[in-house]
Structure 1
Amino acid sequence: MDLPTLELAFPGPERDRGVAAILSGEKTALTGLLDLYAHAGEPVPEVGRRFSVLDSEGRRAVTIELVDVRVVPLKEVDDDFARSEGRGYADVAEWRAAHEVFFRSEGVRALLGRTPVMGDDTLVVAQRFRVVESG
């Protein structure tokens, strides 16, 4: 069965760390900027949706299934969710700082054609998942 693909961040060290964190079980959540979905004309993913997560070489590294999807303002993300991202965030403040830097990065600006406005009310897609199959 061909599944839609999911690419964490951009190819390179950040993506490789994310894939490794999924494979180790440290990463069980991910966050997307709602603006990116809207700009791409893609619907927000639904619970039960499965994705093939690609590594930096474009190969399927792991299959995940979404178990919770919420569209929430940045101010509603909590410490538990931040730690579930598997990136070693101590708390939501550290998580938020890192995500704001990424969402304002050159790569995201290139995708959107502008720098997104980041604030307490900026909407993100907070997703929790489980690993279905490795490799």
Structure 2
Amino acid sequence: MENREPLKPLLLAFPGPVRDQLVEAVLRGEKVSTTGLLVEYEVEREELPPVGERSALIDSGGREVAVVELTEVRVLPLGSVDLRHALDEGEGYTSVAAWRTAHEAFWHSAEMREGLGDPTFTVDDDTMVVAERFRVVERLD
């Protein structure tokens, strides 16, 4: 993809083993959805991405490894996330409960709380999340 416009980065988790696992799952086609907190967009003063937007998937080394295109963006309460979305995250979850446990651990981590500027941040069923669905349109390796 020579001479293309710079793309907004798609950063999954924080750099390190978890990001590396998620990036590999995207490249294998196993991970086709992801979930973020609406409050993250508010803190960063970012607008929600529109369907059709393309982003560069970034690995832990800061390299662009693929171009992904958003195919769906939903804002919903955490308690409304369904099994299809949890399965499509491609991380091996077999239930919404398992998906939620892992996501709550991430969202309640010191790194996330620091990023949000709230050392006591917690989620509950009413916490608004951004559920995104995407597809890889080009690998950059």
The normalised TM-score by structure 1 is 0.97
Could you tell me which of 62, 67, 89 is aligned with 1:63? 67
Considering only aligned residues, what root-mean-square deviation do their CA atoms show, in Å? 0.7
Q: Which residue of 1 aligns with 2:133?
A: 128
Could you tell me which of 114, 118, 122 is aligned with 1:117? 122
Stretches of 4+ moved more than 4 A in 1? none
Q: Distance in 2 between matches of 1:99 and 1:107?
A: 13
- TM-superposed CA distance for 1:116, in Å, is 2.4
Q: Could you tell me whether the CA contact under 8 Å between 2:8 and 2:56 is conserved in 1?
A: yes
Q: Based on CA coordinates, which of the two structures has the bigger radius of gyration? A: 2
Three-state SS of the structure 2 residue aligned to 1:67 is: strand
Q: Which residue of 1 aligns with 2:27?
A: 23
Where do 5+ consecutive residues of structure 2 fail to align?
none
Deviation by residue 1:53-97 (Cα, 9 ceiling, x = unmatched): 100000001110000000000111111100000000011111111
Q: Could you tell me whether the CA contact under 8 Å between 2:107 and 2:122 is conserved in 1?
A: no
The normalised TM-score by structure 2 is 0.93
Question: Which amino acid in structure 2 is aligned with residue 25 of structure 1?
Answer: G
Q: Distance in 2 between matches of 1:47 and 1:91?
A: 27
The question of 1:43 aligning with 2:80 is answered no
Q: Distance in 2 between matches of 1:63 and 1:95?
A: 25
- TM-superposed CA distance for 1:46, in Å, is 1.1
1:2-13 equivalent positions in 2, closer than 5 A: 2-13=6-17
Count of residue correspondences: 135
**Identical-pair percentage:** 51
Question: Which amino acid in structure 1 is aligned with residue 137 of structure 2?
Answer: V
